[in-house]
Amino acid sequence: MKNIENEKHLLYAVRIILERKEINNIWESHKWVINDLIPLEVSGGLGYPPINDVRIYPLINEVKKEDGLNKNLYFAEASIDLHHAESEGYAENLQSSDPSVYIVLRDGDLIDEEEKNNEQDDNIDIHLAEVSLSPYHIQDYEDCGEDRVEKIPLYGPIAELLEKFVEFHFHPEEFKKRKRDKKDIDQNVKRGGDARLKLKNTYN
């Protein structure tokens, strides 16, 4: 971690594999499921990280004849932004009963007008809003309720890097028991002690 200690941002590039599953529901024709998350590469930077509002692209369209399910696979590439200011949240994530990678999906396909006129996949009706390792940061999305937050298990290279990052950046303050100043105690005794205690003793 020494070679990145002065970096404001540590960016972990990842590829996310999604599946568009058809469902038998009167209100919805399909649902999006996270199939996998593939670590790519790590880089550091002093500036702002790339915005993770990214489009989802087709990966494979495969008809599974044996069970009649139409399996549509898509992918998106984004960066997990690790920042030292979020180290407490990362520590909370690692210490939880289910350490997770948080993936935020948002309605609407990010496609420009030129692409619309040429080639468009009508199956894509969402995009990837963000990928995060901080439950504190992701709480804003959950409170808003407009986006969908998916969780997948945190393990492997990403978990190992996060543990090193937390070890380097997270320094919780030690609890210090407050000690009363002996001088103040002595002065209180000289003044006759606490008047409320005297009053209590009078009625006992």
Specify the pLDDT at position 121: 67
pLDDT tens readout for residues 141-170: 888 888 999 999 999 999 999 999 998 888
Specify the pLDDT at position 183: 56
pLDDT tens readout for residues 118-147: 555 678 889 999 999 999 989 888 888 889
**How many whole angstroms separate alpha carbon 74 and alpha carbon 123?**
10
The segment with the largest mean pLDDT, out of 39-43, 50-54, 110-114, 172-176, is: 39-43
Specify the pLDDT at position 91: 95
Count the residues in the chain.
204
Position 15 pLDDT exceeds 50: yes
**Does residue 103 sit in helix, strand or coil?**
strand
pLDDT tens readout for residues 184-204: 555 555 555 555 555 555 555
pLDDT band for 12, please (50, 70, 90 cuts): very high
Specify the pLDDT at position 65: 46
The segment with the largest mean pLDDT, out of 17-21, 50-54, 113-117, 168-172, is: 17-21
In the chain, what are the domain boundaries? 2-169
Strands 9-22, 57-64: pairing kind: unpaired
Q: Are 147 and 104 in contact (CB under 8 A)?
A: yes
Strands 100-107, 69-82: pairing kind: unpaired
Specify the pLDDT at position 68: 47
**How many whole angstroms separate alpha carbon 115 and alpha carbon 108?**
15
**How many whole angstroms separate alpha carbon 33 and alpha carbon 198?**
70
Listed in sequence order, the DSSP H helices in the chain are 87-95, 113-118, 135-144, 156-169, 182-190, 195-203
Q: Could you please report the per-residue DSSP string of 44-64?
A: EESSPPPP--B--EEEEEEEE
**How many whole angstroms separate alpha carbon 130 and alpha carbon 50?**
10
- Which pTM was predicted? 0.75
Position 14 pLDDT exceeds 90: yes
Q: Tokens 């038998």 sit at which residue?
A: 24
pLDDT band for 4, please (50, 70, 90 cuts): low
